């Protein structure tokens, strides 16, 4: 057993999983409240990545930043969170709210339209080129935690730590604050919540803001740790984030966190070991096969996901 490889894959999986978890949280929050699959969520992540890239360029770029690196990263994340938060609010206001009483397929199609609209708008604004954060110039890859042959780049630690901090903050917000209570109530029964005096529209707007802000942060973290961004990156992260949300139990916040880490680790380990396990029949190209097989398996065996509760219908 190659322990170095195992630990390295664990590190890679946790990094990737942290990003998926942030995306899954946005999916889960919106689904929990509106029972809507926000298919444009991955594209909000992409916009966040571009906002971060814009801030990076504005503050001198990776080679010659005009502020301290830690401050630069904080500003990038904050700008992306605020920008994407407002983008989420706009999406909700113009693409979903008018369809709130329409059949469920209508907002789903609207979400698809929003996704293409965002993708093509970014293409129009920034062009088709892959944009580089040059994060390997911002923070040298040799800066980090070294333990024997294992190297963990400091930006991977930053990604994991900040994603964890955001998830904990969200957990506290949902369980310990008045807004969180209103969110839970709206999620449980929207009409009853409204009758109890909760401003449901306002709760939904805030939910979109928070979910989209998390996606924006995830976009910057992706750019920082993997270096390059493009206008269609949102599709892949959206798909994996959605898978994570389903595996964890869509609508459940701990489920989204767990699902994200689970999918991230599954992807990393399948790339690392699929070749050995299948004696060379399947290569690393088939890692997505494993990830989506997991999704199918969960849908068959436990459709409500690990932390989800089966929907009980009263007759």
Partner 1 sequence: MRKGLIAAGLAVLVAAAVVTTAVAKPAAQATPAQVAACTNVSLGFLGPLTGPAGFLGQEQISWLRFGVQKYNKANGTRFKVVPGDTQLKAPVARTLARRFVSDSKIMAVVGGSESQAVVVSGNLFERAGLASISGSATQTDLTNGQFKTFFRVVPNDAIQGPQIVTYVVRNLKANNVVIVDSQDDYSLPLASAISRGLRARNVTVSRESVSADDTDFSSIVANVGSDVDVVVFATQVATAANTLSNQLREQGKKAIVFGTDGAYSPSQFKPRSGYVSVFAPDPHFDPGARALIREYNRYSKNKAFGAFGPATYMAGLAATTAATKACADGQVTRAEVTRQTRRTNIPSIFGGRLRFSAKGDPLPTRFVIYRIADGKYSPVG
Residue 146 token pair: 């070294």
- DSSP string across the chain: --HHHHHHHHHHHHHHHHHHHHHHHHHHHHHHHH----TTHHHHHHHHHHHHHHHHHHTTTTTS-SS-HHHHHHHHHHHHHHHHHHHHHHHIIIIIGGGTTS-THHHHHHHHHHHHHHHHHHHHHH-SSPEE--HHHHS-TT-EEEETTEEEEHHHHHHHHHHHHHHHHHHHHHHHSHHHHHHHHHHH-HHHHHHTT--HHHHHHHHHHHHHHHHHHHHHHHHHHH-EE-TTHHHHHHHHHHHHHHHH-TT-HHHHHHHHHHHHHHHHHHHHHHHHHTTTSS-GGGHHHHHHHHHHHHHHH-TT-SS--PPP---
Least gap, CB of 12 to partner 1 (angstroms): 4
Between 29 and 49, name the residue whose CB sits nearer to partner 1: 49
Does 17 sit near partner 1 (CB under 8 A)?
A: no
DSSP 102: S
Does 13 sit near partner 1 (CB under 8 A)?
A: yes
Element (H, E) at 228: strand 228-229
Does 125 sit near partner 1 (CB under 8 A)?
A: no
Among 64, 101, 142, 197, binds partner 1 (CB under 8 A): 142
Count of residues engaged in binding partner 1, rule: CB under 8 A:
43
Between 96 and 153, name the residue whose CB sits nearer to partner 1: 153
Among 66, 149, 172, 278, binds partner 1 (CB under 8 A): 149
Between 136 and 188, name the residue whose CB sits nearer to partner 1: 136
Q: Cα separations (Å) of 287 from 4, 17, 221?
A: 20, 15, 22
The 287-306 site mask, x for binding partner 1 (CB under 8 A), equals xx------------------
Does 268 sit near partner 1 (CB under 8 A)?
A: yes
Among 89, 93, 97, 151, binds partner 1 (CB under 8 A): 151
Between 166 and 268, name the residue whose CB sits nearer to partner 1: 268
Choose the binding region for partner 1 from 12-20, 38-46, 83-91, 177-185 (rule: CB under 8 A).
12-20
Least gap, CB of 191 to partner 1 (angstroms): 42
Does 138 sit near partner 1 (CB under 8 A)?
A: no
Does 284 sit near partner 1 (CB under 8 A)?
A: yes
Between 201 and 275, name the residue whose CB sits nearer to partner 1: 275
Least gap, CB of 147 to partner 1 (angstroms): 11
Pairwise CA distance, residues 43 & 272, whole Å: 28
Residue 3 token pair: 């322990």
The 205-244 site mask, x for binding partner 1 (CB under 8 A), equals -----------------x--xxxxxxxxx--x--------
Which residues of this chain interact with partner 1, rule CB under 8 A?
A: 5, 8-9, 12-13, 15-16, 123, 127-130, 132, 136, 141-142, 144, 146, 149, 151, 153, 222, 225-233, 236, 267-269, 271-272, 275, 283-285, 287-288
């Amino acid at each position: 057993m190659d322990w170095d490889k195992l630990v390295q894959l664990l590190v890679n999986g946790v990094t990737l999983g942290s990003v998926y978890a942030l995306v899954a949280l946005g999916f889960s929050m919106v689904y929990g409240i509106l029972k809507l699959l926000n298919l444009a969520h991955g594209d909000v992540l992409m916009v966040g990545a571009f906002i971060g890239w814009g801030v990076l360029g504005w503050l001198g770029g990776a080679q010659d930043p005009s502020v301290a690196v830690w401050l630069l990263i904080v500003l990038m994340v904050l700008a992306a969170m605020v920008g994407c938060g407002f983008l989420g609010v706009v999406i909700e206001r113009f693409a979903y709210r008018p369809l709130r009483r329409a059949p469920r397929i209508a907002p789903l199609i609207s979400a698809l339209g929003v996704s293409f609209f965002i993708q093509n708008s970014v293409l129009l604004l920034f062009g088709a080129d892959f944009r580089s954060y040059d994060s390997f110039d911002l923070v040298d890859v040799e800066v980090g935690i070294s333990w024997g042959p294992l190297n963990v780049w400091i930006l991977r630690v930053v990604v994991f730590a900040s994603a964890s901090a955001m998830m904990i903050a969200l957990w506290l917000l949902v369980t310990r604050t008045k807004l969180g209570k209103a969110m839970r109530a709206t999620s449980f029964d929207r009409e009853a919540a409204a009758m109890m005096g909760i401003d449901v529209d306002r709760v939904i707007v805030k939910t979109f803001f928070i979910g989209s802000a998390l996606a924006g942060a995830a976009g910057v973290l992706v750019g920082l740790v993997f270096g390059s961004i493009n206008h269609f990156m949102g599709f892949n992260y959206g798909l994996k984030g959605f898978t994570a949300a389903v595996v964890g139990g869509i609508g459940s916040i701990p489920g989204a966190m767990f699902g994200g880490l689970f999918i991230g680790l599954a992807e990393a380990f399948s790339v690392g070991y699929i070749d050995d396990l299948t004696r060379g029949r399947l290569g690393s190209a088939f890692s997505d096969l494993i990830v989506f097989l997991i999704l199918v398996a969960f849908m068959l065996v436990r459709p409500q996901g690990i932390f989800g509760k089966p929907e009980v219908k009263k007759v």
